[in-house]
Amino acid sequence: MTRAVFAALLSHWKRNPLQLFTLLAGLALATALWSGVQAINSEAKASYNAAAATLGEGTFDQLIRRDGQPMAQDTYVALRRAGWLVSPVIEGRLDGVRIVGLDPLTSFGGLGPVQVAQGADIAGFLTAPGQAFGHQDALDALPPGIAKVVAPDVAPGTVIMDIGAAQRLLDRQGQIDRLIVGPVQPIRQAPLDTIAPLLSRQIAHTGSDIGRLTDSFHLNLTAFGLLSFAVGIFIVNGAIGLAFEQRRPVVRTLRALGVPLRRLMALMAAELAIMALVAGGIGVALGYVIASLLLPDVAATLQGLYGATVAGTLQLRPSWWLSGLGIALGGTAMAAAAAFWRLARLPLLAGGSPRALSMAAGRSAQVQGLIALALLALAAALGLTAQGLIAGFALLGTMLIGAALALPLILDRVLALAERLATGVRAQWFWADTRQQLPGLSLALAALLLAMAANVGVSTMVSSFRLTFTGFLDQRLASELYVTAEDPAQAAQIIAYVTPRTRAVLPIASAPVQIAGLPAEVFGTRDDATYRDNWRFLQTAEGAWDAVFDGDALFINEQLSRRSGLTLGDTVPLDGRDFRVAGIYGDYGNPIGQAIIAEPAFTTLFPEIEPLRFGLRLPATDVPALVTDMERDLNLPPSATINQAGIKQFSLDIFDRTFTVTTALNILTLAVAGFAILMSLLTLAALRVPQLAPAWAMGFTRRELGRLELIRAVLLATLTATIALPLGLALAWALLAIVNVAAFGWRLPMYVFPLDYLKLGGFALIAATLAALWPAWRLSRTPPSDLLKVFSNER
């Protein structure tokens, strides 16, 4: 019996291939976007983890020299012999490749994902010439001599080798950059300051944790993926709902023939599960294609923005297949839940007559309106009070779902108004007919609404970030040229050389400190108009700059303020000296706390730190000549000077890459929404014939009917886009003011970009028009005999 029932159920799809296609394609697209974004995110995160594991960053405490200089190898041995279980690391760059040298005998578990092949030759790793582990391209950049072993787990652009080999390769014999402190130490050890007074201990999970830094970027991607998925599920929900309605007679017949409801439902569920798996499989494969197309840009963005290296190529991870198929199954279950619920409660012989989807929708309009209202009210309440990540996401969710539910009702009211205002029979018929069609299209329009709103929201956020960040760069990179010296002697030489040719030479010196128990760096700043003129503060006290340069106040960044709770007027002790907080400034992209004090105060507190970096103020036109002269006369390498214009251009390039990714996702989500509209219109087309036949009989030409059909789609899309704009702005606000603050500790000011929105609206209209084109064309070509049949046959 099971087989016969199954065959009967499946025959529906044979008769309605378009519905089957809608269902599979919607699900596949939803899965594709979701799993593509997940793939990008997980690839990036795997890269960070590899980097962190390589270096023990974020996992272990580290000892470094206070002045940032390398330490002598003897310091390492002295610490070991004083009972400190520390492991040495040397790090450097050679032809663009990051060389990491470590000692495998003392390094701690989980450190250095070096793939040693079975039966590897440890002696080969430890003794000259040594072995280097890394990606092929990184290995290729190494000079010959050292043995090269391909190891995919090593962070991209990095090679790992024995510390001895690394010292030799970097020509830094006897030097160590940092010591990783083992998680377990013996019962006694000599105090650090008696053994190695130059070293300071950096607590784990501080500044260098790239993962935290890039979370904002990944959050954007995830939001995109989730919204695309929601849009796809709307399509699937529509397709399943329609299929179940149309199959009511079949269900009634089967049940009348004695098939138990339970078995029938089980078979229908199995049918859907198979489709979900097929569509999910296609979706994951598509997602892989999307991810591999976007990944190079994402990798470039992350590298440029945060210095996080991400492999530009995708590795196929089994976890995606599982999560992709899982999400397809889950999405189908979500989309089909309502249909199953209705089926389960259906009386045995009821529902034989086919009903348009619209009637069911119309009856529940009131309920839907109430739910939408409740959700939007909740969103408003959350918007006023929400703090924290969970509340932020709850706000996003209630807002979007509430708006999607409210959309058909709002459109209905607008159309009713238009109908009342319309003069002439044709116009009135047009509005009434549009209203009548609305329930059938409402799911597709809700998908369009979500896609539009997501695009407006995310692009507002990204663009706001770009504006803020470039403004911030202007403030921070006020000097026209930056020079880095190798040692104090060279620094003095540079100062003497450039002073006659510049308006000001501004030293940049910093020291790692603890402020309110949090790791932070403090900068010494010279009293110069450069700072007074360019710096913008989030909050500032009266006469702040004077107070700072008097030596009894400091500025802190927003992150430090939010994390430590320090506000204007609070006192911060630094090495036994008290400073008052005189200002709080935005410091985007910096993961750790920062404070600024006057240069004399800095010199008193940290006499051992001599500035090696300098900002030079001079007319921008003089910069190239000065750089050339310095390189010639002082024998400076090109890397020692950084042209401000160059940095800014670099940053803008990065943002343009970010936009490539954002734009690509924008277009994809809009395409999905357009697809939803196309499918809805095609599905409705068959149902529409009886409604259109009388209009045709009364004198509308088929061509005219087709044109009106097209106008209707564009009109509905325009209305939807109009509603999507405020929703998208609200979304952007929630992302910037609540989610960002909770996730990263800084609030970005929101900017609006009307031209961008106009362009987006244009895209949405194009999508809707393209979607409506074919159904309208088909309508205009409906054979008159089909229209006539309506009158001869009461169906």
Partner 1 sequence: MNVKTILLCLVPVFAQAQGFAGLGSGADGFAIPQPDPQFSFPADHGAHPDFRIEWWYLTANLKDADGTDYGLQWTLFRSAMAPQTQEGWDDPQLWMGHAAVTTPDDHFVTERLARGGIGQAGVVADPFAAWIDDWRFDGIDVGTLSATGPDFGYDMQLTASGPFVRQGKKGYSVKSASGQASYYYSQPFYDIAGTLHLPQGEIAVTGTAWLDREWSSQPLSGDQTGWDWFSLSFDDGARMMGFRLRQTDGADYTSATWIAPDGTPTPYEDGSLRATPLEVSQVAGRDMPTRWRLELPAQGVDVTVQAINTQAWMTTSVPYWEGPVTIDGTQSGTGYLEMTGYE
Binding site for partner 1 (CB under 8 A): 53, 73-74, 76-77, 80-83, 85, 102-116, 120, 122-123, 125-128, 153, 162-165, 167, 173, 184-189
Beta strand ranges found along 552-646 (DSSP E)? 553-557, 571-574, 577-585, 593-598, 613-617, 641-643
In our burial notation (b when 16+ CB lie closer than 10 A, e otherwise), range 364-377 reads eeeebbeebeebbe
Answer whether 540's CB lies under 8 Å from 596's CB: no
115 vs 319 by CB, closer to partner 1: 115
**418/439 Cα distance (integer angstroms):** 17
List helix spans (H) across 500-622.
Answer: 529-534, 544-549, 558-564, 599-605
Quote the least distance from Cβ 156 to partner 1, whole Å. 18
**554/582 Cα distance (integer angstroms):** 6
Quote the least distance from Cβ 307 to partner 1, whole Å. 24
Nearest in space to 280 (alpha carbons), one of 241, 333, 238: 333
**246/354 Cα distance (integer angstroms):** 6
DSSP annotation string for 598-615: EHHHHHHH-TT----EEE
Quote the least distance from Cβ 24 to partner 1, whole Å. 41
Quote the least distance from Cβ 126 to partner 1, whole Å. 7
What percentage of the chain's residues is helix, strand, coil (to nearest 5)? 65, 15, 25
69 vs 115 by CB, closer to partner 1: 115
113 vs 330 by CB, closer to partner 1: 113
First-last CA distance in the chain: 31
115 vs 315 by CB, closer to partner 1: 115
Cis peptide before 129 (omega within 30 of 0): yes
174 vs 726 by CB, closer to partner 1: 174
165 vs 335 by CB, closer to partner 1: 165
∠ CA(689), CA(695), CA(700), 5° rounding?
115
Answer whether 19's CB lies under 8 Å from 242's CB: yes
Element of type H or E holding 512: strand 504-515
Quote the least distance from Cβ 141 to partner 1, whole Å. 23
Quote the least distance from Cβ 576 to partner 1, whole Å. 32
Quote the least distance from Cβ 111 to partner 1, whole Å. 5
Copy the structure tokens of residue 485.
């010296």
Cα dihedral angle (131, 132, 133, 138), rounded to 10 degrees? -150
Quote the least distance from Cβ 313 to partner 1, whole Å. 21
149 vs 438 by CB, closer to partner 1: 149
Quote the least distance from Cβ 103 to partner 1, whole Å. 6
Nearest in space to 521 (alpha carbons), one of 205, 206, 118: 206
For 170, counting Cβ atoms within 10 Å of its Cβ (0-12 exposed, 13-18 middle, 19+ buried), the class is middle
**483/738 Cα distance (integer angstroms):** 39
∠ CA(429), CA(709), CA(716), 5° rounding?
85
**716/698 Cα distance (integer angstroms):** 25
Quote the least distance from Cβ 178 to partner 1, whole Å. 16
Quote the least distance from Cβ 123 to partner 1, whole Å. 4
SS (H, E, C) 289-309: HHHHHHHHHHHHHHHHHHCCC
Answer whether 512's CB lies under 8 Å from 66's CB: yes
Tell me the C-alpha to C-alpha distance, in Å, between residue 500 and each of 34, 201, 622, 627, 776.
59, 41, 13, 14, 76
Tell me the C-alpha to C-alpha distance, in Å, between residue 611 and each of 70, 484, 491, 597, 626.
16, 9, 8, 14, 21
82 vs 568 by CB, closer to partner 1: 82
**99/77 Cα distance (integer angstroms):** 22
60, HSE (Cβ side, Cα atoms, 13 Å):
27
79 vs 290 by CB, closer to partner 1: 79
Quote the least distance from Cβ 97 to partner 1, whole Å. 20
126 vs 742 by CB, closer to partner 1: 126
118 vs 639 by CB, closer to partner 1: 118
Under 8 Å CB-to-CB from 792, ≥6 apart: which residues?
none
81 vs 201 by CB, closer to partner 1: 81
179 vs 618 by CB, closer to partner 1: 179
80 vs 778 by CB, closer to partner 1: 80
Q: Which of helix, strand or coil describes residue 586?
A: coil
Quote the least distance from Cβ 193 to partner 1, whole Å. 17
108 vs 429 by CB, closer to partner 1: 108
Q: Which of helix, strand or coil describes residue 114?
A: coil
Quote the least distance from Cβ 207 to partner 1, whole Å. 24
186 vs 754 by CB, closer to partner 1: 186
Quote the least distance from Cβ 209 to partner 1, whole Å. 19
Quote the least distance from Cβ 176 to partner 1, whole Å. 10
Beta strand ranges found along 44-172 (DSSP E)? 61-65, 71-72, 86-94, 97-102, 131-134, 147-150, 158-162
Quote the least distance from Cβ 56 to partner 1, whole Å. 10
For 251, counting Cβ atoms within 10 Å of its Cβ (0-12 exposed, 13-18 middle, 19+ buried), the class is buried
54 vs 216 by CB, closer to partner 1: 54
Quote the least distance from Cβ 487 to partner 1, whole Å. 25
90 vs 314 by CB, closer to partner 1: 90
Answer whether 768's CB lies under 8 Å from 448's CB: yes
